[in-house]
Structure 1
Amino acid sequence: MATATARRSRARAEETADADNRARASDSGVTKRAKTTAVTATTGGMDDDGADDVDRAPASNSAYVGVRDADVGELSQRYTQRAEEASGALGNRAEHLSAEERDRLTSEVMRYVLFASHRDQGAPIQRTKISDAMSAIGGAGGRARAGSYIVALAQKKFLEIFGYEMVECSRAQSKNKKPAKTLEQANTAPAKCFALRSVLPAQMRRKFVDDPKSAPARGFTLVVAALIQISSGCIREDALFEQLKVLGINDDVRETHAELGSVDALLQSLVKRRVFLRERTSHDDPSLGYSYELAEGAEAMIGYENIDKFVNEIMRSQVAVN
């Protein structure tokens, strides 16, 4: 305890000594702080040897990228109630589904979601694809409202058996998308989709599940998400890379970064996984290049509330420095 206190005292003294230098950093200082905070968030406050570092431990497990310390009991109650409501909406038709057929369809939905999630590296799965999977085996996909009942049962069982939350989200649409050609297109609601999200406690994820080698990529993802968030939800590609240069991601290392590998390939992967959207800044003027926005996968992987907390932490640190 005394050693930890001494380390903290020395750290505070060092921060005071070079505060003037860091105060000159302005915008780049925010990005540099983002790098430090992201590393702490993704490593869970551990040294390279895996030992807990009291000085660098995050304030809460919510800072650990992609992990929420969810109230499993509350989630279980919510999905149980949702399944009961779906059964009630189905009415007498629910009785026409035998227990064997109901279990078979639920298992098929869970199997499809598991394999599709693994194949697409966690990208959210469109609801229509799940309906197609049920229809392919001649089940509830063709019955009015029966599909919603089966999906609700799958959500309940995912939580009970696998420790996954099969969370529903709306497919994100770019602010820069082409204008709708018809009124019908303009009034079309966003498509529903589902993503699997672990409800394991953060400490268990750190110790038993997540590969430490993936920490740099998780930290990079959080930094990019934060930069998008503080840019009113949309950042131009050239502006993004200008900010990333502050982290040492210069043009000459974008393809050969020591920890991230190809940064361009990593960004493409995150776009494919629907964590980010990459669309033309203006469809009328291609010379303006591309912009990045948050997609529905950002909520499933990181959580919008965690992005906000991360940004607030950066800003508080910057205010303290100044």
Structure 2
Amino acid sequence: MFADPTGGRFPGRSQVGQPDADGAIRLTDSDAALARYSAVQKHYFNDPFIRPLLSRGAQYQPPRPPLINVGTYVRSEAIDSLVNEWLSLSQAEGKKCQIVSLGAGSDTRFWRIATGPQKDVLASYIELDFAENTTKKAMAIRKSRELSIPLGKPEDIKITHCGSALNSSVYHLVPADMRLPPADTLPPLLCPKGQPGILSPDLPTLLLFECVLSKSSTILGGVVYEMFGLNDSFGRVMLNNLKARNVDLPGVEPYPSFQSLPSRFLNRGFDASVALTLKQIRTTCISSEELQRISHLELLDELEELELVLQHYAITWGLKLYNRERGLNAAWNTWGLKPYHETREDEY
């Protein structure tokens, strides 16, 4: 069966009428965690925080094939670049920012930021996912020193909602079903009665994967990692294999082509949006030295299949600027993945 080669998640997607359809969705998080751990084992990148989030015995599974490791690497490098630049722009402006990750699952990005040079730029980092996933993650955080220490003092870490929610000074883990209207489900979680809200309308805010915040008074960005082009022969194979796992993809239906991807943001009032396939990112946004390094990590003989896979995934980012009179446009308009200014042949 064709597995998601880049370890992707499909939050809030299921087939109606399937027994425990959400179980199939939650399983994609295990796939994503194992794919990331596999890439770490093969030295594509370093992530000391993924192992504590793995299920028991998962670290003893064999590494994923090179095709999956390369896809995981390209996706991670691209999103990391967008997030790091967002933090840098906020820092240059002299203010903190907030990040909301929807369908976060076993993602480790908060810990990588919280132990890095830009940790003080974060005002809030919020992760939302199914209650089953957030309960599992909250438990892993409590058991792991690597995960709990970056959250702050033990007395400042609160477990609520029967163990499915966790709140600290900066990091917040929130259970939510994103198929339900955000206005009905999120306010009690993000703005508890009698307490200050977790999110501020005055700080630059970056949304990862899905766009659910509709009102802000500052700068709003969104990053979506998604499949597309599932109408060709290769795309239909990918789609059918996912359906065999009881995972449906209604989110890709309104955006079937590469050209349609920016409209996800532009049709909702964002000022700018750009999409790049993982194939484009790999060949234009990663340096020759880095491509040369990963080319020596594993023998990859499925080059044609790698190309087909990478051109069916894309990262799309959108930017919404408020308070234009403040003169922020020039700096924030530069946010996005940057091509390396060099001409090269495909090196892997």
Structure with the greater relative contact order (CA < 8 A, sep ≥ 6): 1 or 2?
1
User: TM-score w.r.t. structure 2 length?
Assistant: 0.28
User: TM-score w.r.t. structure 1 length?
Assistant: 0.29
Higher helix proportion (structure 1 or 2): 1
